[in-house]
Protein backbone atom coordinates (compact mmCIF):
# COMPACT_ATOMS: atom_id res chain seq x y z
CA UNK A 1 0.00 0.00 0.00
CA UNK A 2 2.84 2.40 0.78
CA UNK A 3 4.27 1.87 -2.66
CA UNK A 4 1.65 3.90 -4.47
CA UNK A 5 2.20 7.31 -2.80
CA UNK A 6 5.95 6.82 -3.16
CA UNK A 7 5.59 6.22 -6.85
CA UNK A 8 3.27 9.21 -7.12
CA UNK A 9 5.79 11.45 -5.34
CA UNK A 10 8.54 10.23 -7.60
CA UNK A 11 6.44 10.89 -10.68
CA UNK A 12 5.51 14.34 -9.42
CA UNK A 13 9.14 15.14 -8.67
CA UNK A 14 10.23 13.91 -12.06
CA UNK A 15 7.53 15.92 -13.79
CA UNK A 16 8.97 19.14 -12.39
CA UNK A 17 11.88 18.97 -14.78
CA UNK A 18 9.99 17.55 -17.76
CA UNK A 19 8.86 20.14 -20.28
CA UNK A 20 5.08 20.44 -20.29
CA UNK A 21 4.79 19.59 -23.94
CA UNK A 22 7.27 18.48 -26.53
CA UNK A 23 8.64 21.76 -27.73
CA UNK A 24 11.93 23.58 -27.43
CA UNK A 25 10.80 26.70 -25.55
CA UNK A 26 12.89 27.15 -22.39
CA UNK A 27 16.42 26.50 -21.19
CA UNK A 28 18.30 23.27 -21.82
CA UNK A 29 21.79 22.15 -20.99
CA UNK A 30 24.45 19.62 -21.75
CA UNK A 31 27.24 18.99 -19.25
CA UNK A 32 30.34 17.12 -20.20
CA UNK A 33 33.60 16.45 -18.46
CA UNK A 34 36.82 16.30 -20.42
CA UNK A 35 40.23 15.81 -18.84
CA UNK A 36 38.88 16.72 -15.44
CA UNK A 37 37.28 19.94 -16.68
CA UNK A 38 33.52 20.44 -16.70
CA UNK A 39 31.90 22.17 -19.66
CA UNK A 40 28.33 23.33 -19.50
CA UNK A 41 26.48 24.37 -22.61
CA UNK A 42 23.13 26.12 -22.03
CA UNK A 43 20.70 26.75 -24.89
CA UNK A 44 17.81 29.19 -24.42
CA UNK A 45 14.92 28.97 -26.85
CA UNK A 46 12.84 32.10 -26.39
CA UNK A 47 9.15 32.76 -27.02
CA UNK A 48 9.98 35.32 -29.74
CA UNK A 49 11.63 32.59 -31.85
CA UNK A 50 15.21 33.58 -31.07
CA UNK A 51 17.83 31.45 -29.36
CA UNK A 52 21.20 31.81 -27.66
CA UNK A 53 23.84 29.28 -26.69
CA UNK A 54 26.22 29.83 -23.77
CA UNK A 55 29.31 27.77 -22.94
CA UNK A 56 30.73 28.04 -19.42
CA UNK A 57 29.17 31.45 -18.94
CA UNK A 58 30.39 32.84 -22.27
CA UNK A 59 28.02 33.55 -25.13
CA UNK A 60 28.80 31.05 -27.89
CA UNK A 61 26.07 31.75 -30.38
CA UNK A 62 23.43 34.41 -30.34
CA UNK A 63 21.21 36.26 -32.73
CA UNK A 64 19.82 33.00 -34.17
CA UNK A 65 16.20 32.05 -34.84
CA UNK A 66 14.39 28.71 -34.69
CA UNK A 67 11.10 27.48 -36.11
CA UNK A 68 9.56 24.19 -35.04
CA UNK A 69 7.46 22.25 -37.49
CA UNK A 70 6.14 19.08 -35.84
CA UNK A 71 9.16 16.89 -35.16
CA UNK A 72 11.64 19.05 -37.05
CA UNK A 73 13.31 22.37 -36.36
CA UNK A 74 14.91 24.92 -38.69
CA UNK A 75 17.80 27.01 -37.39
CA UNK A 76 19.19 30.26 -38.73
CA UNK A 77 22.17 31.84 -37.01
CA UNK A 78 25.31 33.80 -37.82
CA UNK A 79 27.59 30.76 -37.30
CA UNK A 80 28.23 30.44 -41.06
CA UNK A 81 25.71 32.74 -42.65
CA UNK A 82 22.36 33.86 -41.29
CA UNK A 83 20.64 32.78 -44.51
CA UNK A 84 21.81 29.14 -44.31
CA UNK A 85 19.10 26.87 -42.93
CA UNK A 86 19.97 23.99 -40.65
CA UNK A 87 17.22 21.39 -40.47
CA UNK A 88 17.15 18.79 -37.69
CA UNK A 89 14.83 16.03 -36.52
CA UNK A 90 13.82 16.34 -32.86
CA UNK A 91 13.49 13.34 -30.61
CA UNK A 92 12.21 13.81 -27.07
CA UNK A 93 13.22 11.17 -24.54
CA UNK A 94 12.21 11.73 -20.91
CA UNK A 95 13.52 15.17 -19.99
CA UNK A 96 15.88 15.45 -22.95
CA UNK A 97 15.77 16.34 -26.62
CA UNK A 98 18.10 14.91 -29.26
CA UNK A 99 18.94 16.50 -32.62
CA UNK A 100 19.43 14.40 -35.75
CA UNK A 101 20.73 16.01 -38.94
CA UNK A 102 18.34 16.37 -41.88
CA UNK A 103 20.27 18.99 -43.81
CA UNK A 104 22.75 21.72 -42.91
CA UNK A 105 25.51 23.12 -45.11
CA UNK A 106 27.14 24.87 -42.14
CA UNK A 107 29.82 22.43 -40.99
CA UNK A 108 30.52 24.12 -37.69
CA UNK A 109 26.85 24.08 -36.68
CA UNK A 110 26.40 20.53 -37.97
CA UNK A 111 29.29 19.29 -35.84
CA UNK A 112 27.90 21.02 -32.78
CA UNK A 113 24.31 19.84 -33.25
CA UNK A 114 23.98 16.47 -34.96
CA UNK A 115 23.55 13.68 -32.41
CA UNK A 116 23.68 16.12 -29.49
CA UNK A 117 21.25 15.78 -26.56
CA UNK A 118 20.08 18.58 -24.29
CA UNK A 119 18.42 18.18 -20.91
CA UNK A 120 15.52 20.41 -19.92
CA UNK A 121 16.31 22.96 -17.21
CA UNK A 122 13.33 25.28 -16.85
CA UNK A 123 10.69 27.08 -18.78
CA UNK A 124 12.18 30.57 -18.93
Residues in contact with other proteins by CB under 8 A are 52, 54-60, 62-63, 78-82, 108
Q: Which is nearer to other proteins, 14 or 78 (CB)?
A: 78
Nearest distance in Å: CB 86, other proteins = 15
Nearer to other proteins, 112 or 119 (CB): 112
Q: How far is the CB of 41 from other proteins (least distance, A)?
A: 10
Written in H, E and C, the secondary structure of 50-113 is EEEEEECCEEEEEEEEEEEECCEEEEECCCCCCCCCEEEEEEEECCEEEEEEEEECCHHHHHHH
Amino acid sequence: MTKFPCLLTLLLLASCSIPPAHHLLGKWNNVLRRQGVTYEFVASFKPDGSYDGVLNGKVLVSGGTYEEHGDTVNFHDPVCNISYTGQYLLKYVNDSVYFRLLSDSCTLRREGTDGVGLKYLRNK
